[in-house]
Chain A
């Protein structure tokens, strides 16, 4: 039985990482919740963001936190274009058709990354990566803490956008009722594209944060896609708080599973959790029943 402060450290680390996961999942939840598109390429987008951060760091010595702005902007545009150009024309097609579309995009993205960057791991080395704050027995990594804070700020921003702005409310209207929204004159296709752009921007910020914590390789793409889905389903579809909560839960449970069982078994736990949640409470912890 590992010592209590080791467990505490692992839990805190899990919470912080979980918040970054949560931001990634938030992007997916927003996309899934509004546009009803299963973004099977979500993890690949996350991985691309991580690579973008490494490239910007290598070329311009740009700190990932600063890189968040340009990368998020670029991803917003990319997400908007993807939805507008590729997915919007498919809204009326059956569900598995849309799914396949994004599976195709995911395959292209992950292998394009393989082609461009090769299979070796890349990462970012900043000065403060090895620093940590001491909170009693717990050692909190500086980088991890900042990453978590960035995730929270981004999530809060998104939440405020949906709550307080007109566009945000319009998007929520579309999510609730596609036909109704069109009837009252909302340009639903534009709003969908906007939503996808926002979701992509979330992923971008999460990716830039994550690259400080983890080395990036192309196969991370599919792993993150699945992880995002696990989180969104566990936390609850359509619930932003649920995505963050789910992220933290998964972060902590992964960390604990890594400690008590074996590091490589962490994902097994997540998948087991996904299966259980899908069966017992498909609306997730904070979601609403469809």
Chain B
């Protein structure tokens, strides 16, 4: 445990000092890695903790983004207030999906399909929803990018990096705390053997719903970040199943249900794929789809040979 704390402190120090060590491009890559680590961690709460495979998590990113984005676009309401609407909407959505699924006994693959269906339904819905711009998208105006304007969440890449770092650290702390709490034990029990868990007084339905709600709420925050970072929202992109798959890649590759898994997975995936794209570009090859084939191969490899993800294997080696 002590080795782990030291490693964690070192990691934290590196991440905090990172902007002073690298340039803006690398910083944006780092921000992206942290973004995927964060959303992966949020997804992990549903999968790793409550054992429910969600392949439609982009739904929460999208709804969160559009909620906060629309408030800003139409009423000039800043992201800090928009955050609450985003979270409220996503929690409500998550509870609906969870309630429907658990009440009707839908689990496993069927649950995954249900989540996909909801995300797809919403994607097409937003394509036809004029108020948020339809397929043409919604564009948030950016006043400036020089000074730190936390109220409107505008500023240089540095600000976004630290914001994402804070979010990721917060998610990590939250999950660590949850794992050790009563909720954590109950979720693990439910995941291992729901019937046995029920015989020990656990209301599995309620606890699963809680995991879904927390996961949705956390992902909603990612959506708000997304809205104010990229500033243009298109239903085809933000709700697309590829986004949902991107969210799960980090934790699946790094290690589902672990604390470090999502971060490690996101880092490995993003760095390697960027490396490949750079290498190919150096040869003058710019073929769309290469990065994703690479993702697929890594996922395949991990599922086949390291089913618990990279992190447990590494942790054992480093005796963390």
Contacts and interface: CB of A to CB of B under 8 A. Distances in A.
In the complex they form, whether A and B have CB atoms below 8 Å apart is answered with yes
Interface of A: 38, 86, 90, 93, 95-97, 99-101, 103-115, 118-119, 218, 222, 226, 229-230, 233, 262, 264-265, 267-268, 271-272, 274-275, 278-280, 282
B303 A278 contact: no
Interface string B97-125: 00010001010111011101110110011
Interface string B45-57: 0000000010100
Given A226-B241, A264-B124, 18 more contacts: A99-B109, A100-B299, A103-B55, A103-B245, A103-B299, A104-B299, A107-B296, A109-B296, A111-B293, A118-B288, A226-B117, A229-B113, A230-B117, A265-B124, A268-B124, A271-B117, A278-B104, A279-B100
B304 A101 contact: yes
A12 to B, nearest CB: 25
A97 B121 contact: no
A118 B288 CA distance: 8
B289 interface: yes
B293 A107 contact: yes
Contact of B303 (A38, A97, A114, A115): A97
A119 B289 CA distance: 10
Interface in B290-320: 290, 292-293, 295-297, 299-300, 303-304, 307
B288 A275 contact: no
B114 A104 contact: no
A95 B114 CA distance: 16
B109 A226 contact: no
Report whether over half of chain A's contact residues are helix, strand or loop; otherwise say mixed. helix
Contact of B128 (A107, A110, A226, A264): A264
Nearest to B241: A222
Interface of B: 53, 55, 100, 104, 106, 108-110, 112-114, 116-118, 120-121, 124-125, 127-128, 241, 245, 252, 287-290, 292-293, 295-297, 299-300, 303-304, 307
A112 B288 contact: no
18 contacts: A38-B109, A90-B304, A99-B112, A101-B304, A104-B300, A104-B303, A106-B296, A111-B290, A226-B241, A230-B117, A265-B128, A267-B124, A271-B120, A272-B121, A275-B118, A278-B113, A279-B104, A279-B106
Contacts, number: 111
Contact of B114 (A109, A112, A267, A278): A278
A108 B300 contact: yes
Query: Is chain B's binding surface mostly helix, strand, loop or mixed?
Result: helix
B180 to A, nearest CB: 25
B40 to A, nearest CB: 14
Nearest to A95: B108
Most buried by A among B112, B118, B295: B112
Nearest to B291: A111
Given A93-B307, A97-B303, A268-B125, A278 B110 contact: yes
A197 B40 CA distance: 35
A66 B195 CA distance: 54
B245 A282 contact: no
Contacts of B307: 93, 97
B116 A226 contact: yes
A97 B299 CA distance: 11
Contacts of B55: 103
A268 B121 contact: yes
B296 to A, nearest CB: 3
Contact of B53 (A96, A106, A118, A275): A96
B288 A119 contact: yes
A280 B108 CA distance: 17
A275 B245 contact: no
B104 A115 contact: no
A262 B128 contact: yes
B303 A100 contact: yes
B242 to A, nearest CB: 8
